[in-house]
Amino acid sequence: MATRRIPLVLLACGSFNPITNQHMRLFELARDHMHSTGQYQVVGGIVSPVSDGYGKQGLVLAQHRIAMAKLALQSSDWVTVDEWESQQADWTETVVTMRNHYGRILKEYERSTGENKDSSGNPSPLSSPCPQLKLLCGADFLDTFQVPDLWLDDHVEEVAGHFGLICVSRGGLHPEQAVAASDTLSRHSHNIFLVREWVRNETSATEVRRALRRGLSVKYLIPDSVIEYIHQHNLYTEDSERRNKGTVLRPLAKQATQPGKNVNVAVRKIATLLKPDKDISHDGDHIVIKTLSTFKNYNMDFHVGKEFEEDLSGVDDRKCMTTISWDGDKLVCVQKGEIEGRGWTHWVDGDELHLQLGSQLSNLLAHSLLLLLALRFSVLPLFVHSQPANPCIYLQALIILHTQTSASPAAIMPADFSGKWILESNDIFEEYLKVLDIDFATRKIAISLSQTKVISQDEDKFTVKTLSTFRNYELSFTVGVEFDEHTKGLDNRNIKCLVTWEGDKLVCTQKGEKANRGWKHWIEGDKLFLELTCEDVVCVQVFKRKA
């Protein structure tokens, strides 16, 4: 007897900002592939645009993205647009969207099998097998599962294990490697269908928006009806592209606030974007310090000289026995607990309030949020409302901290970077490449690659080799000596560079066509950090020392 095929619905989640022909092609490719397995019968396709709460830069209103998707899909007799996700007040996890659709699909199935039950109430042999729902995506989507703190592990488990994925190739990405690199994905590899698109189509919604902003033609990349809609509503402009600029992607913010999470990459990322205010009031030795930001607020209410139990919920969720006392005109706090040497010092210098946060060097990583909060505030007589200066000045706190907390003189010497370092994480690298105007295909290759840094250091003389299977790059410099760099094979620009020591950090300013360009290198334990900055993008790469 021939086995009956499993009815299958394909669900694609994304910004669809705007929907492109390639988005629609994904469905056709996936349907052919799933039919070729002989196991499935694709019975429907759903496009589910993300809600406005997603916070992605340049995201135009959901009502427009929905309207464009509906216009585009008028030509399909099996793919529809669903508004449920886009209408949720906040951004919705993909797995929640999947559960919602699957619940609806199952209800319909039950209703239809109800009509086909035998006398004992069991589905009759005439009923079709239980339908399935699978997530349809491009290869770049699969890579996002590896982005630290973007997805919850349980959700990846449910998406890949319970539902299943159909992933269409994109650019030079290697989805099979993404599956192999992840324990969860490889455990469910039988439920992940990789579809090879032989007619490569590199259309990306970002590139379409860019072309539209520049007044260039996007005909044949997106349907005519969508082009007309965009022009009618003047949708993709310089202004619309600035929408959500600097906003933390909602999944990252949401993940960071999960109970029991360590102070991690996501929190660090959020913290760097914050503009916290300090609101300090006092009545004699009774002091209240409020640290206010759009992400988290933190209040301290204490009497100088009196020990109290401090609950650092929302910071690193530890408890400390805290005592704050005067040291001359400095307010010094000692926080006894799990982390040795923990505490802070507040003092005023001219019209600036300084806050220096400390813990032992070995614990720096666990305390990155604390370090990030080490801001310098301007325009402030002590204990009145303050205006924050540049939040990125927190970086200086690391240096102060190193100097303050290092017991041995060796620890305050500039660091030794020599060695081989393997890339472990590469946060916002694609944004950094975009701001350097690196083309789509190169970006996609670059973000998928592993990198090795080989650094040779002879006191202040450095050679840094960056090696990958795609391109190698070598840079030699002497700290304190300005040099010309041609970023050959990268963005091919000429820049004037100067590398200096800031404590044990190596800091480079790169003057040229691009504003605010530079990098910083520092070491924490067996990790090498590289912070790459250009305009308003800050990318952090973390390397592990190769034994």
Ligand X SMILES: O=C(O)c1ccc[n+]([C@@H]2O[C@H](COP(=O)([O-])O)[C@@H](O)[C@H]2O)c1
- Comparison of 14 and 518: residue with beta carbon closer to ligand X: 14
What's the min distance (Å) between Cβ of 339 and ligand X?
Answer: 30
What H or E segment, with its residue span, contains residue 30? helix 21-36
- Comparison of 266 and 542: residue with beta carbon closer to ligand X: 266
Peptide bond between residue 175 and the one before it cis (omega within 30 degrees of 0): no
- Comparison of 166 and 373: residue with beta carbon closer to ligand X: 166
The binder of 105, among ligand ATP, ligand X, none, by C-beta within 5 to 8 A per type, is none
Q: Are 55 and 248 in contact (CB under 8 A)?
A: yes
Sign of the CA dihedral running 531, 532, 534, 536: negative
Instruction: Give the binding site for ligand ATP (CB under 6 A).
Output: 12, 14-16, 22-23, 26, 137-138, 140-141, 168, 170, 201-206
Write the DSSP assignment of 497-541 as a string of letters.
EEEEEETTEEEEEEESSSTT-EEEEEEETTEEEEEEEETTEEEEE
Instruction: Give the binding site for ligand X (CB under 6 A).
Output: 13-15, 50, 54, 56, 93-95, 144, 150-152, 155, 251
- Comparison of 150 and 304: residue with beta carbon closer to ligand X: 150
What's the min distance (Å) between Cβ of 141 and ligand ATP?
Answer: 4
The tokens of 280 are what? 């300090």
List phi, psi (to 5°) of 447: -75, -20
Alpha-carbon distance of 170 to 220, in angstroms, equals 19
The percent helix, strand, coil of the chain (3-state, each to 5) is 30, 30, 35
What's the min distance (Å) between Cβ of 94 and ligand X?
Answer: 4
Burial status of residue 214 (CB atoms within 10 A of its CB: 0-12, 13-18, 19 or more): exposed
What's the min distance (Å) between Cβ of 2 and ligand ATP?
Answer: 33
Q: Are 113 and 123 in contact (CB under 8 A)?
A: yes
What's the min distance (Å) between Cβ of 18 and ligand X?
Answer: 11
The binder of 251, among ligand ATP, ligand X, none, by C-beta within 5 to 8 A per type, is ligand X
The binder of 61, among ligand ATP, ligand X, none, by C-beta within 5 to 8 A per type, is none
The binder of 94, among ligand X, ligand ATP, none, by C-beta within 5 to 8 A per type, is ligand X
The binder of 93, among ligand X, ligand ATP, none, by C-beta within 5 to 8 A per type, is ligand X
The binder of 189, among ligand X, ligand ATP, none, by C-beta within 5 to 8 A per type, is none
Residue of 271, 249, 531 whose CA lies nearest to 375:
271
- Comparison of 331 and 428: residue with beta carbon closer to ligand X: 428
DSSP character for 158? I
- Comparison of 204 and 451: residue with beta carbon closer to ligand X: 204
- Comparison of 253 and 508: residue with beta carbon closer to ligand X: 253
